[in-house]
Structures are given as structure tokens and as C-alpha cells.
A and B are shown apart, each in its own frame.
Chain A
Amino acid sequence: MGQEILAPIAGKILQVFVSVGQTVSEDDQVVTMEAMKMENPILSPYEGVVKEIRVKVADEVKADQLLMIID
């Protein structure tokens, strides 16, 4: 079981900065979303390895939707 990164706000995925297997540190930017007519950097609240990515560029996501899992 890993730690989940959820969308803090509803919006559209503009960019995904990491790939599965990549190591991330706390506060590394993993995704950019468009929401409220703004680009929103999504930072990893955890340190670990990207286990699974559930979204791709141009996906529309809801608030609290699972973006990726960090192990």
C-alpha cells in the first residue's frame, strides 16, 4: 500500500512530470493542473517512489480524484 496523491481541486491535467519508478522528494512538483483558469502545481506531500500514475495529459479530474500512488 502506498501513499495517495489526490487532486486538491477539480481541473484538467496539463503536464505530468514523473514516471513510474521515479524517486520523488517531499514538495517535488509531480503534476500541473489547470483549475480556476490557473495553472496549479501539484506537489508530492511524500517522499518515495512513484508506484502508479492514474492520469494523463488532458484528462479532466474531479477534486479528490486519485492522481498517483507513491510507495
Chain B
Amino acid sequence: MSVRKLIEILEHTEREIKMGGGTRAIEEQHRKGRLTARERIDILFDKGTFVEVNMYSQHQCYDFGMEKKRPYGDGVITGYGNVNGRTVFVYAMDFTVLGGSIGLNNASKIAHAQRMSVKAKVPMIGLVDTSGARIQEGSGTYSLLFYEHIRSSGVIPQISCIMGTCAGGGCYSPALTDFIFMIDKTSEMYITGPRVIKEVCKEECTGEELGGPKVHSQISGVTDFVSKTEQECLDQLKKLLSFLPSNCDEKPPIVETGDDPNRRCEELADVVPNSPKAPFDMKKIVRAIADHGDFLEVKARFARNMITGFIRIGGYPAGIVANQSMVMAGSIDSDASDKAARFYRFCDCFNIPILTFADVPGYLPGVKEEHKGIIRHGAKMLYGYVEADVPKILIVVRKAYGGSWAAMGSKTMGADFAFAWPTAEMAIMGAEGAVEILYRKEILAAEDKDAARKEKIDEYRNTFNSPYLYAGKMVVDFLIRPQDTRAHLYKAIRLLWNKPQEKISRKHGNIPL
């Protein structure tokens, strides 16, 4: 055969492989409102940059009639290319080929891609759309992915997009990555599906009720982002990547945003209400100080008493952890603590400065919360903050009380700078509670108990809760006008951008999980 002919055969085969499971399977995928793996790859990568790796892989299974069905690619596409000019690796399960099922060989293919992404020191993106483990091949396949995810954790960013169903042990593959995206109406994730649950537990539920995007974004906290469509999901993914470095040895990109870093935020003078009892939306502050008001919120609908996400200030990226007084008075419960702790640790993995905005009355009291283990969960947040050696800046907006203050960071917890607004109230505990302990007898003995209590509360508040007191003790470094917050934070982040990392000689710490 001529060399020209051999090349022609190669080209023909390649065209066939790119048709995936064929026209009918592609139509079926579209009918379900889903794109094919190749269409997703086309959206994700800059035009013409995608390089496919192991295109000709085939499963090595010769049981249950599988020997007659050995399509090239084996139901998973792997490769690399540019996303907004920066290299990332991807694996995309192709539902049109053998249902995107995961067997030994294509799990090895994904694992290989993952190892390559670590060698290249670039992020790994997983586009998950699978019918599950390939049962004709027996078990032991997902563990290949678990192993690589865990080995790469903290080395390169790993992000999973659940484009369809993700059931059984396969859920732990995305669960081991840094961020999970789900899509309205099409994504589902569960360890045991509705059929087994009905059989074993006698509980009836749909897949969506069990593990749809609403469940995982609001109740379980499994997912970080929910998108309306696949296109929106991939756009959000690109936006998330824009905040991240390619690996743990690089700094995140600084971009020219065209928003003046010294812009005064006049609206911030009126955000904190005059009444100390009134809640306010902390996100107004985050958006006001962010370049062009752009805030990429993470886990937006889970543990809403705690806000986490990414912004830029004068082009410099920052991770935000902030209390939301609109929800449960901004108190920290177990879920909020888990959410913030994980976010602290992610920012630390990838050299992203941490800004904390405090308006926190305390850890959430109650029998339920204590029994749930608020001690154990709350400890994670403290651990995560101190462990992080990126630039850490605290802004006390209003309340910062007791142990919950430490969870939001403080100088003694390793914050590099602490700012406070004139609205700040900081103390070991609230004035009302402190007065009941310190002046109980005096108040009981007083003729007008309410007046006596009020007098003592005011006295305590003026003496111990004032930000001037803490500025005097250098617990707070700056008392600032709210309007100047953005300009101050910009300067502080720039100042600390090359902060040295302190390595402690040990295998790793033992975070109270």
C-alpha cells in the first residue's frame, strides 16, 4: 500500500472517531438537552488549539460480547489546549460511545491525562457524563481516578463539571477535586440511586430530589456552582480559571481591568444600618470594592450565613470570606465553618490572598448545633486560617466577637493587617452578656433595674467594644473610612504580594476533619 494511502486511511479513521457514537446517538444526546463531548470541548478551548491524546485507545474486555464492540476512544476524550490563551488538560466522557461508561482502560486513559497535566503543571478539567462503571469489566476502575486526583490535589487546580448523571462510586472522582459545577435539570449526583434507595430504605424519591443541583447547592453543599445551561457552565468555568494560577508554584494572574484601584466607594458610607439590630447585605460591600462590581461567588446558596468567592482589586485577585448578617444573624454554624475552611485552604493552595470581612456575633448556639459537632467543624475554620500563608487581611465591618472573631482572622491568628471601620464592635463577648456576668448583683440591687442595666451596657460597650481601644492595642492596624476600603486593600495586597511562605518541617498537619 502506498504511503499516501496509509495517510488517507488514518485521516478517514480520525474523521470516524470524531463522529463518536454516530448520528443517532448524537441526536439522542441532543434530544436530552445535552451537548456531545466534542461540542463541549469546542466551547471550552480557544479555536483550533485542542490536541487529542490517546484517540485510538480501545478497551481490552473480551467478555459479555464486548469483544465485538471496541470503538476507538473507548467513551472518553482526553487532551489539552488553550483556554483564553492558557493551557489546560481535559477529560470528557463521551456518552454517545458505550454510554461514557468507565472501564479499566479508559480510566487508565484519564489517569494518564491527569499525570500529564501534573507534568505540564496545568489545571485538569473533567467533563463528566457517564452511565457509570462498565459492569462487563468488573470493578476497580474508579480508584485509578481517585488515586490521581488525590496525588494532584493542591499541585494543580482540578475542576469537575457534571454534565449528566454521576452515580455510585464515580461521585467520589469529582468530590476529590477542587470545584464542582452542576447544570439545572440535567445534572444528578448520588452514591445510591432512587431504585436502590426504594428497595433498601423504602424511601421514594426522584433522581432530582435525591441529588439534583438544588439539593447539592443548598442542602449538601457538594456543588460549588449551578449553571442554567452547558454553555453557561463552561463560561463560568473559564471565569473561575481566570482567577487561578496554573499550579501551586505560580502566582495567580494579575489582569488589567481598567477599574481605578483608588476609586472611592461613596455608597459604603451608608451600608451598615444605624440600628445594631438591623441586618445588611455584606455582598454590597464585596461588590463595591471589586473591580467593576464583579464577584464570582462560590457555594452561593449553601450556608448563606457565610459568603465565599473571588474578586479582583485593581487587577489583583483575592479570595473573599465574609459574614452575612441577613442569614442567621451571620453566626457561624457547622456548614458555614466547613464552607469557609475549605475556601481558606483552596486559596492557600494556589497563592490567592485572603480578605475576610467580619460581622459575626458568634458561633451558633443551640443543642442541635453542639450535638452536630460545632466544636469539631468550627475548629476547621481556625485551622484553615492559620495554616494559610498567603497574604491575609481582616476588615472588621461591624461585629467581631470571641472565638468567631478568630475564625474570621485576627492579628494573633496570623492576619498580616487588620482594618476596622468606625462601626466595628469587637470584644470577647457582647456588652449585654458581659454586663449580666460582671454587674449581676449591682443590677439586681438597683431601684430601676433596666436603667442600671442600660447604663452598665453602655459603659462596657464604650470601654471594651470600641475599635479605638483595639487600634490603641495594635490589634487593629487601621481605622478607615468605609469609602476608602478599596484603595486600602489594593495597597495592602500589592504590599504583601510577595510575602514569603513559611514552611514548617512536618509531613502534614492534622486538620480536625
Give bound CA distance, A51 to B365, whole Å: 31
Partner of A36, one of B218, B278, B328: B328
Give bound CA distance, A6 to B430, whole Å: 27
The winner among A34, A38, A41, A45 for most chain B CB atoms within 10 A is A38
A41 near B331: Cβ-Cβ < 8 Å: no
Residue of A nearest to B325 (CB): A38
Give bound CA distance, A63 to B365, whole Å: 10
The answer to the question of B361 belonging to the interface, with a C-beta cut-off of 8 Å to chain A, is: yes
Residues in B with CB closer than 8 Å to A18 are none
The answer to the question of B4 belonging to the interface, with a C-beta cut-off of 8 Å to chain A, is: no
Residues in B with CB closer than 8 Å to A54 are none
Give bound CA distance, A45 to B327, whole Å: 13
The answer to the question of B258 belonging to the interface, with a C-beta cut-off of 8 Å to chain A, is: no
- B205 CB, min distance to chain A CBs, angstroms: 14
Interface code B299-339, partner A: CB below 8 Å = 1, 0 otherwise?
00000000000000000000000000111111100000000
Interface bracket on B = 20 to 34
- A15 CB, min distance to chain B CBs, angstroms: 13
In the A-B complex, list the 7 residue pairs whose CB atoms are closest, starting with the nearest. A36-B329, A38-B329, A36-B361, A9-B328, A63-B366, A8-B328, A36-B331
B277 near A38: Cβ-Cβ < 8 Å: yes
Residues in B with CB closer than 8 Å to A10 are 365-366
The answer to the question of B103 belonging to the interface, with a C-beta cut-off of 8 Å to chain A, is: no
A37 near B328: Cβ-Cβ < 8 Å: no
The answer to the question of A59 belonging to the interface, with a C-beta cut-off of 8 Å to chain B, is: no
Give bound CA distance, A36 to B432, whole Å: 11
Count the A-B residue pairs with Cβ separation under 8 angstroms: how many? Answer: 46
**Also in contact, A37 and B430, with CB within 8 A (given A9-B364, A64-B368):** yes
Interface of B is mostly: loop
B277 near A39: Cβ-Cβ < 8 Å: yes
Give bound CA distance, A37 to B362, whole Å: 11
- A33 CB, min distance to chain B CBs, angstroms: 9
The answer to the question of A53 belonging to the interface, with a C-beta cut-off of 8 Å to chain B, is: no
Partner of B329, one of A9, A45, A63: A9
Residue of B nearest to A62 (CB): B366
A40 near B279: Cβ-Cβ < 8 Å: yes
Give bound CA distance, A41 to B277, whole Å: 12
Residues in A with CB closer than 8 Å to B366 are 9-10, 63
Please report which residues of chain A, range 48-65, place their CB below 8 angstroms from some CB of chain B when the two chains form the complex: 63-64
Give bound CA distance, A37 to B326, whole Å: 13
Interface code A20-42, partner B: CB below 8 Å = 1, 0 otherwise?
00000000000000111111110
- B208 CB, min distance to chain A CBs, angstroms: 15
User: Can you list 29 A-B pairs, Cβ within 8 angstroms, ordered by A?
Assistant: A8-B328, A9-B329, A9-B364, A9-B366, A35-B329, A36-B328, A36-B329, A36-B330, A36-B331, A36-B362, A37-B276, A37-B329, A37-B361, A37-B430, A37-B432, A38-B278, A38-B279, A38-B330, A38-B361, A39-B277, A39-B279, A40-B279, A40-B326, A40-B329, A41-B279, A45-B218, A63-B366, A63-B368, A63-B369
Give bound CA distance, A19 to B329, whole Å: 25
Residues in B with CB closer than 8 Å to A64 are 368
